């Protein structure tokens, strides 16, 4: 299993908040795809030749900030090397004010 939190402004480990209003789309579509791919690569790290790349992915996205559920689903469809069973949940708040996307992935063997 792997967890990846995506934050804007200050890092998630730094409690100070950015003084400027964050932009509506903190990531471009290409950056969103790269974050999802990074998460999946980390999930399969250490497995030299995975016979099956089936995994469950839970994406918690902050409502009103960042990408919509449809945009996340579209980015996942582009990752054809993986068979992802996604659950995309809109939430009001995550564990830090700067985090707008939290990804939890679990591989099936």
pLDDT in tens, 19-71: 444 555 678 999 999 999 999 999 988 777 767 788 999 999 999 888 899 99
Q: Is residue 17 part of a domain?
A: no
Q: Is residue 16 part of a domain?
A: no
Q: pTM for the complete prediction?
A: 0.81
Q: Is residue 34 part of a domain?
A: yes
Q: Is residue 20 part of a domain?
A: no
Name the residue range of residue 38's domain: 2-7+26-107
Residue 74 burial class via C-beta count within 10 angstroms: exposed 0-12, middle 13-18, buried 19 and up: middle
Question: For residues 97 and 5, is the Cβ–Cβ distance under 8 A?
Answer: no
- pLDDT at 11 (0 to 100): 54
Q: How many distinct structural domains can be found in the chain?
A: 1
**Ramachandran class of 104: left when φ > 0, alpha when ψ lies in -120 to 50, beta otherwise:** beta
Q: Is residue 15 part of a domain?
A: no
Report the mean per-residue pLDDT for the chain.
84
Q: Is residue 32 part of a domain?
A: yes
Domain harbouring 70, CATH code: 3.30.1330.40
Mean pLDDT of 73-94: 94
Q: Is residue 89 part of a domain?
A: yes
More confident position, 13 or 8: 8
Q: Is residue 98 part of a domain?
A: yes
């Amino acid at each position: 299993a792997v967890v990846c939190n995506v934050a804007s402004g200050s890092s998630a480990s730094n409690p100070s908040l950015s003084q400027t209003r964050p932009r509506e789309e903190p990531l471009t579509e290409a950056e969103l795809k790269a974050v999802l791919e990074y998460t999946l690569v980390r999930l399969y790290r250490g497995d030299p030749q995975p016979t099956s790349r089936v995994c469950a992915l839970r994406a918690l996205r902050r409502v009103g900030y960042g990408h919509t559920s449809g945009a996340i689903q579209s980015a996942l469809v582009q990752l054809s090397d993986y068979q992802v069973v996604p659950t995309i949940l809109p939430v009001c708040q995550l564990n830090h004010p700067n985090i707008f996307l939290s990804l939890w992935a679990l591989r099936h063997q």
